[in-house]
Structure formats: C-alpha cells, structure tokens
Structure 1
Amino acid sequence: MFNCLKAKIRPFLSDKTISEYHRLQAGLAAWRYNYPGRKLKIIGVTGTNGKTTTCVLLGAILELAGSKVAEATTVRFKIGARVWKNNTKMTTISPWILQSFLSKAQRAGCEYVILEVTSHALEQFRTLGIDFLGAVLTNITRDHLDYHKTFAGYVSAKLKLFEAEPFISVINLDDSSSKEFLQLASSHQTSYSIGSKKAQVRAEKIIYNIKTTDFILVTPQGQIIVKLNIKGKFNIYNALASAAVAHNLGISLETIKYGLESVDLVRGRMEEISQGQPFRVIIDYAHTPDAFEKIYKTLRPIIQGRIIAVFGATGNRDTGKRPMLSAIASRFADIIILTNEDPYTENPVKIIKQVAIGVDRKKFNRGKNYFQIIDREKAIKKACRLAQVGDLALITGKGHEEVMAVAHPKNPHLSILAPFNEQDIVKKILGKMGYREN
C-alpha cells in the first residue's frame, strides 16, 4: 500500500523535495539507532563491478587477522558467524534497515563492518550518519544512466563516498575516472593497479592456471606470491583492492595472502554447477557491458567447445546498454539465447527486442544458433540440451539472486518479487538429463 502511494505521489514532487525526503529518512534512522555508524570501523566499497567480491575478500582477511566482521553486500548479510541471504534486490539497503543492521553488529561486538555502497545510496543519503574509516573504488563503467542521466552524473555520485575524506582511500589507478578520486584528500590514500609502477599496490607476473590465478602481490610492505582461487583478471583487481585496505590497517603480508587464498567461491560470481555432465555450466551476475566484456574475455580462451550465452536485460533501467550486451555476446559466443531478466513493470517482449538489436545477424541465425525464449527456465533448459562435450552454458544477469522482479498480476504499474533460484533450476534440469549431484 505504501509503495503504491509513493508511486502515485512521486510525479508531482520536485527532485529537491524527494532529495530532502531521503535525507530526513536517513537522519531519523541514524538518530533512532543512536548512530552506530560512528562507533564501528566501517569500510565502504563502491564501483560498478566487483564490489561484492572485494567485500568478501576483505572480510576473509580481517577475520584471519582476528577481527570480528560484519558485511552487507548484494549477496549476503553477515554478523560474525551468522550469515543470511540478501533477497531484497537492493545492494545498499534502506537507511532504517541499514542502521538496524549496524546496531546489531555493534551489539554483537563486531570491530569492522564492510558495506557495498551504491551510487543510488549516496544520492539518496542512505549512509548518512556513518563515519567511513575507509572508502574503496573498484571501477566505474556505464550503468544506471536511467537514474543519473549522464556518465558524469554517475561518477559524481560515486565521488560522494570520498568527499567525506575517509582515513583510508583506495583507488583503482587503471580506471579512467581515477584522477577525479585521487584529487580528494585522505590521510592514507593508496592506489592499486595491474602492472603500473605508479601504484603502491599492484600485481605482477600473472599466471592464469586452470584452477588458480597466480601473481606477485607488491605492496609497500614488500611482495609475496598469491594463488587466487577465483578466476579472472577482474578478480585480481578485487584482490588488490582488498589487499590495499588491509595494508593500510597494518595487517601483515602473510595474513593478506592467506586471507585472499581462503576464498574459493562467491555465490553467483563465476559459479560453476557440476553434476558430472560433459559440458560446463557457469552462473554469473554480469549485467553491464563492462562485466560482459570481462567475463567473456576470461572464459573464451579456456573453453574448447562452444559458448552458449543465456541472458536478457533488466526492465525499467538504462535501455541504452541493452543492444550493447548482445553485441558483446555476439563477439564471443557461438549460440545466443535471449530471455527474461527482472522485467519489473516493463513488457518482457519489448525488452528482448531491444536487446536483440545488437545481435550480429551475419553470425547468428534465428532458430539455428540464435533463440528468443521469454521463459527463463525454458531458456536455461534449451542451453543445457544444446550443450555438447566441452561446451559452456553461460547464464548471466541473475547470479546469486533467488527472486525475479515481475509486474504485479493485479496492478501492472507495481512489481513484485517472485521466487526464482537459478542454481536450483540448473540442478533440476541437469538431474532430469541424468546428471545428479554426488
């Protein structure tokens, strides 16, 4: 009822009024819970991609160093040993839930809290009342232009996390927007990079193995060999960001190394489902052009067979990136299956048609190696049925999520969250094909 009322009122309110409403809500929430964000050591991680993995890696390092840690990420909530799933479809939760979470973390005796901080959250003051000990930038590429209108506006929102002059500032030197962040003051500003000697923390002599990614971690403390158990060049960046924060917190190189190496899976991030089938199935949260580019470049060299791409695009979001996704998939994939992906209140058929604009029609022929299947479960089933020995069914967009945002059956102007667990669906399909978990 409340959400319905907000949706009806919003068109009549000015941007300034809406902004002040958000500020008031956040201020009241912080006051109600007695400002727990000022009593904890809080690290905020922002960026387009890589936030969740960076948070998980940093959490592993801090726990290995002996600290009690809380996390609030796209994937999960964590207070010490207690872990539960984030099924809100919000990366940075509302200020009331966030302040309640911080209060619980404080009462539980946590020393550190690691938060994913989105551009929406910063624009809407959701983190008001939090004194960030550290701020981390993973990267900035095209996303959320439906909300921020321009890329400059998107960058400006991310900058807000660093404008408060956190004690620790960690910035990806290889990102095109890094200069703007490096200009902001911080007591301990650290840059990280793959290869650039200008960065204080960097990765050198990288070796991509079948099961690990090995590199030399170089820091002001010295250097050490790291055998990362999560694949991809992008995960080296995530590891470097985590290592840079840990270095500034005075954690030893050995602890940083073993903390990074202790993480072998982040749910919905390059997550492989294996039940003895002769082909591979990987689920990933990639839903931006940059994330698409990175995951395909990581997987294409190591897949001997075909890549069968299953994806769509989110409804009520940046429409400009839709054909960009299929254009990238066209370069790397052998079979494309376009499907539904959180349409919210938008027509799924319309979304798929807009995604389809970027499909390379010289390479992909409808009904042969290119399909449009609105029902996502049927699309996944089609991919698994088409897969042969050595092939990869790559399912992107949903990742860890266990719900699908769809239009309300009685009010198409509102959306609801319907159960949809991609991991369970894949396992069920493989089971019916005769492949079962051991």
Structure 2
Amino acid sequence: MKHGEELLKKMNALSISGAKPGKIADICYNSRNAVRKGAFVAITGNAMDGHDYIMDAVKRGATTIIAERKPEKKLPRRVTLALVKNSREALATMANYFYDSPTDYLKVIGITGTNGKTTVTYLVESILGAGGSPCARIGTVEYKLLAETIPAVTTTPESLDLQKMFQTLKESETRYCALEVSSHALVQHRVDHIKFRSAVFTNLTQDHLDYHHDMEEYFASKVKLFKERSPEISILNSDDPYGLRLLDIVEGQALLYGLKKNVDVTVENLYLNADSIVMTLKTPSGSSPVRSNLTGRHNVYNIMAAASVGIAEGMGVDEIAEGIGNLEGVPGRMERIDEGQPFTAIVDYAHTPDALAHVIRAARELTGHKVITLFGCGGDRDKTKRPLMGKTASTLSDTVIVTSDNPRGEHPEKIIEDILDGIENNVKSKSPVHVEVDRKRAIKTAVKLAGKGDIVLIAGKGHEDYQIIGKQKVHFDDREELRNAIKERYGEV
C-alpha cells in the first residue's frame, strides 16, 4: 500500500476534492480491475473513455479517482477525486511511485523505429544470454519475463503494466530487459519515468500517419525516447537519414552502426544465403566471423543494431557473434513453412511499404524463379500507405495477390480498391494481379500458382493468430492456413 496523499503530490494534480486521501491498495485503468481502497485512473482510448466508467470503479470499491474532468454523477463522500491535465501522464507517475521505481535497478534497452524492433529485441536477448546475462523481452509478439510469458496486447504496454512487469523482474533479480518502444507509447506517456540504459533507433519510414498526420510528427515522437528519456547510450542507424538527424539531437554517448563509412559497428565479407547470413562483424572490440540463421539484407541492419547493444554493455565480439548465431529465428519474421513442397513458403509481418520492399527483395535473393506476394492492408489505419504498398508489391513481385488483412471497421473491398489504385497507376508493373477478399482462399490461390523453385510470400500478419473483422476478433493464423493449403495441394508430403 502507498499513502494517497504522497502519491497525489507526485502527480501535480490541478485540484483534489472529496474525502481526505487515504492509503491506496492498488491502481487500475480498467474499472473491472478496481478493488477496495484502490485508485482508478480514467484514461481516454480510441474506442472507449475511462471517464464513462468512473462510477463502475467506485461500485467495485475504488476510493481514489484520477480524471481529467468531473464525472456527471456525484461521487460518494468516501471517494477522493483528483483532477489532472493528462490522465496518462498521471498514470505513469503513479505507477512508477507505486512500484518503487523498479528501472533504477534494471538495465532497460529501448528499441524504436518503424521496422525491425521485434527482431532486434530477440537478438539482444540472445546476445546478452550468450554473455551470461538473462534478458527479458517485451514487444509485439509476447512479454517474456523469464519466469512467465504473457501474450502481447500491444507492442508497448500501458505504463502501469510496464512498471508492474519491471517490479517482477527486479524481484527475480533479472538485470536486463529489451523493450520495443512504439511511437504511440512515446506520445501517450507509457514509457515516462523509465530509466533507459540504452536506446536503439532502427529506421523511419511511412507508417501510422493516421495517428501522427505526417512524417515530421512521426519523427518527433521517436525523438522523445532520445531527448526526454535521456538514455545513457544512443545507438543509431547512420545509414538512415533520420538516424543522422538524431545524432545532432542526442546527448551523451552515441554508437553508430551501418554499412557506410565512419561507423562504430559494421560488417564486411557479406554473403546472403537462402538459409543464413554469413559475414564478418567489425566492432570497437575487434572483428569476428558471424553466421546468422536469419535471412535478408534488412536483417543485417538488425544484427548490427543488436551487436551495438552488446558493445555498449562491454561484451567481447566473440560472445556477441555466439549470441547472434544462437538465435534460430523470430516468429512471423521471414518464417519458413516447410511441408516438403517443391517451393519456398514464407510468412512475414511486413505491413509498411518499406518493410514489404525489404522482404520481397530478400525473397528475390533466394530464388531465380517467381516471387508470388500476397498481402492486404489494415482497416482504420494509415490509408495513404495502401497505394504505396500496391505499387511496391507490383514493382518487385512476379505475381501479386491482394486480399484482406485486419479490415476492422472498414469494408475490405474498399481497402483493396485503395491498394489497386497504386498498382493500376504503376507504369513499372507487369505483374499479374489476383484479387481475393477471403484471406484463406487467397492463400490457397498462392499455393496453387506456385511452381518448383518459386517463393510464396504471405505478408502483413506474421505471428498474429487472429483476424479483426468489424469488432469481432476471430482465430486466423497465416502459418496454419499456409500449411493446410500445401497439404491440400500435395497431400501429406
């Protein structure tokens, strides 16, 4: 328990009314989790507003309410109401105080950027593990806290959930945590009060412009990690123009990685094979041959980013190389589906124009035959990237299949029309285009079209095991559907 008066002081509340603040047993932002003598923080989300559930939290025993405006109904006398300018900011402050600032005892490595965050966290975990330091991992796929693994809800959890996880790690004496930091999380104060040992910037390309409006606003959200959160070490991709802009902004130590000159971490003797990447890793600590089970040029950058974390932690280059080699793969990232079929089948999470270009090019490097690309675009998300993804796929692929992704509240046919605009206006496109709204049937079509030596690339959903249609979340896993389609065509091969 924490004393409410002390906790409310930390928030700089605009006003406090009602009962004198008492002890607070717990904090929640979902009224269903409210407990006796607990605090409920009303935050406004995309679909629901926590202010509409204040009375529900009170009925469940909450005696402290933090909100941006007064509730319509009068609160009972036993309840303390604190009004704040920003509920999410207040939640982060309360959570850090309630759990005794656990990141003072942890080394949190924040990874941000449009693409590559998940793969870098997996690599960092493997590299630090090779050096004898177990590392937790929180991100898009799952929240791995060593002793337990929790299915991921969002890429970066809410501040309260994060601080609770960090407290769990502190109690288990875990030293490290690799954390994916999304642009939404930075704007919404989810990582406020987290002490970052280092922050990694992977790249910045178009995504989330439904939320950030333009690339400058999107970039400004990323800057927050390096400027407001003040990591001890900033690790930057100097081959990315936004990485170079960050170099002029960051304070303290900076490590640069890339394939160009004047960097701290780079690679030489690079060979991109069908099932691996072979190269020489060059670092301030020396050089070492490396073989990674990952594939594709984009993963060379992810490897350099993670290797830079190892360097920042004082690891030897041989240990770093060992950790890189130990990682078998990342769920839904260039993940191969092998049922003995005479073609290569790959599932990848690529859902931006740049990511899609990278994985198609990576697939192209694996074969001299056809690349068949299947993809869609999410509903209620950045509409401007749809024609760009259509143009990318039709330029780089031999055959394109356009289908549904997570249509959410939009009509999937309308989303597909937006994608087709980019294909129809692409003078470089000579690719046959198939349209199949039903993703399951679309995957079957891709498998039927594949010949010996071809590559079937199923892009957009990666590790996800669901599809969101309207407000309904139904089970759907590209990997399962791809396996089933292959078995249907070839039998139990």
* TM-score normalised by L of structure 2: 0.81
1:333 to 360, 376, 397: 397
Aligned AA for 1:356?
A: L
Q: d(CA) in 2 for partners of 1:390 and 1:268?
A: 22
Q: Name whichever of 39-48 and 185-194 sits farther off.
A: 185-194
SS of equivalent residue, structure 1 residue 357 = helix
Query: Does residue 152 of structure 1 match 2:216?
Result: yes
1:57 to 120, 123, 128: 123
For residue 279 of structure 1, report the CA deviation from its aligned partner. 1.4
For residue 136 of structure 1, report the CA deviation from its aligned partner. 0.3
SS of equivalent residue, structure 2 residue 256 = strand
Q: d(CA) in 2 for partners of 1:318 and 1:28?
A: 33
Q: d(CA) in 2 for partners of 1:429 and 1:172?
A: 39
Q: d(CA) in 2 for partners of 1:8 and 1:24?
A: 14
For residue 192 of structure 1, report the CA deviation from its aligned partner. 0.4
Aligned AA for 1:417?
A: K
For residues 22-421 of structure 1, the aligned pairs below 5 Å read: 22-80=88-146, 82-86=148-152, 88=153, 90-163=154-227, 164-194=229-259, 196-360=260-424, 369-408=432-471, 416-421=472-477
For residue 286 of structure 1, report the CA deviation from its aligned partner. 0.4
Q: d(CA) in 1 for partners of 2:490 and 2:217?
A: 51
Match of 1:6 in 2: 49
Q: d(CA) in 2 for partners of 1:190 and 1:5?
A: 41
Q: d(CA) in 1 for partners of 2:135 and 2:345?
A: 32
Q: d(CA) in 2 for partners of 1:364 and 1:140?
A: 26
Q: d(CA) in 1 for partners of 2:48 and 2:126?
A: 42
Residue 370 of structure 2 contacts residue 399 of structure 2 at CA under 8 Å; is this kept in 1?
yes
SS of equivalent residue, structure 1 residue 55 = helix
SS of equivalent residue, structure 1 residue 319 = coil
Could you report, residue by residue, the CA deviation over 1:321-348 in whole angstroms, capped at 9, with x for unpaired residues? 1000010111121221111111121111
For residue 261 of structure 1, report the CA deviation from its aligned partner. 0.9
For residue 209 of structure 1, report the CA deviation from its aligned partner. 2.3
Q: Given the superposition, is the C-alpha separation of residues 321 and 122 from structure 1 closer, same or farther in structure 2, using an over 3 Å criterion?
A: same
Q: d(CA) in 2 for partners of 1:363 and 1:203?
A: 33
Match of 2:4 in 1: none
Could you report, residue by residue, the CA deviation over 1:120-179 in whole angstroms, capped at 9, with x for unpaired residues? 000000011211111000011111111111101111100111013211110000001123
Could you report, residue by residue, the CA deviation over 1:2-52 in whole angstroms, capped at 9, with x for unpaired residues? 87542998xxx99xx998122122222323333222321100000000011
Residue 84 of structure 2 contacts residue 90 of structure 2 at CA under 8 Å; is this kept in 1?
no
SS of equivalent residue, structure 1 residue 297 = helix
Q: Name whichever of 291-300 and 319-328 sits farther off.
A: 291-300
Q: d(CA) in 2 for partners of 1:226 and 1:278?
A: 29
Query: Does residue 431 of structure 1 match 2:487?
Result: yes
Q: d(CA) in 1 for partners of 2:180 and 2:267?
A: 24
Residue 276 of structure 1 contacts residue 435 of structure 1 at CA under 8 Å; is this kept in 2?
no
SS of equivalent residue, structure 1 residue 309 = strand
What runs of 5+ residues in structure 2 fail to find an aligned partner?
A: 1-29, 32-44, 53-67, 70-82
Q: d(CA) in 1 for partners of 2:84 and 2:462?
A: 32
Q: Name whichever of 387-396 and 251-260 sits farther off.
A: 387-396
Aligned AA for 1:113?
A: C
What runs of 5+ residues in structure 1 fail to find an aligned partner?
A: 409-415
Aligned AA for 1:166?
A: P
For residue 262 of structure 1, report the CA deviation from its aligned partner. 0.9
For residue 363 of structure 1, report the CA deviation from its aligned partner. 7.9
Q: d(CA) in 2 for partners of 1:68 and 1:148?
A: 35
Q: d(CA) in 2 for partners of 1:147 and 1:175?
A: 22
SS of equivalent residue, structure 1 residue 42 = strand
Q: d(CA) in 2 for partners of 1:334 and 1:180?
A: 36
The higher radius of gyration belongs to: 2
Residue 206 of structure 1 contacts residue 215 of structure 1 at CA under 8 Å; is this kept in 2?
yes
Residue 122 of structure 2 contacts residue 330 of structure 2 at CA under 8 Å; is this kept in 1?
yes
Q: d(CA) in 2 for partners of 1:165 and 1:7?
A: 31
Could you report, residue by residue, the CA deviation over 1:352-410 in whole angstroms, capped at 9, with x for unpaired residues? 11011111477879xx93222111111111111121211211110000111222212xx
Q: d(CA) in 2 for partners of 1:276 and 1:179?
A: 45
Query: Does residue 422 of structure 1 match 2:478?
Result: yes
Query: How many residues are matched?
Result: 420
Q: Given the superposition, is the C-alpha separation of residues 213 and 147 from structure 1 closer, same or farther in structure 2, using an over 3 Å criterion?
A: same
Q: Given the superposition, is the C-alpha separation of residues 19 and 56 from structure 1 closer, same or farther in structure 2, using an over 3 Å criterion?
A: farther
Q: d(CA) in 2 for partners of 1:311 and 1:76?
A: 23
Match of 1:412 in 2: none
SS of equivalent residue, structure 1 residue 214 = strand
SS of equivalent residue, structure 2 residue 365 = helix
SS of equivalent residue, structure 1 residue 177 = helix
SS of equivalent residue, structure 1 residue 104 = helix
* TM-score normalised by L of structure 1: 0.90
Q: Given the superposition, is the C-alpha separation of residues 176 and 435 from structure 1 closer, same or farther in structure 2, using an over 3 Å criterion?
A: farther
Q: d(CA) in 2 for partners of 1:422 and 1:7?
A: 34
Match of 2:59 in 1: none
Q: What is the root-mean-square deviation in Å for CA atoms of aligned residues?
A: 2.3
For residue 223 of structure 1, report the CA deviation from its aligned partner. 1.1
- More relative contact order, 1 or 2 (CA 8 Å, 6+ apart): 1
Aligned AA for 2:135?
A: V
Could you report, residue by residue, the CA deviation over 1:243-301 in whole angstroms, capped at 9, with x for unpaired residues? 11111111111100000111121010000101011111100000111111111122113
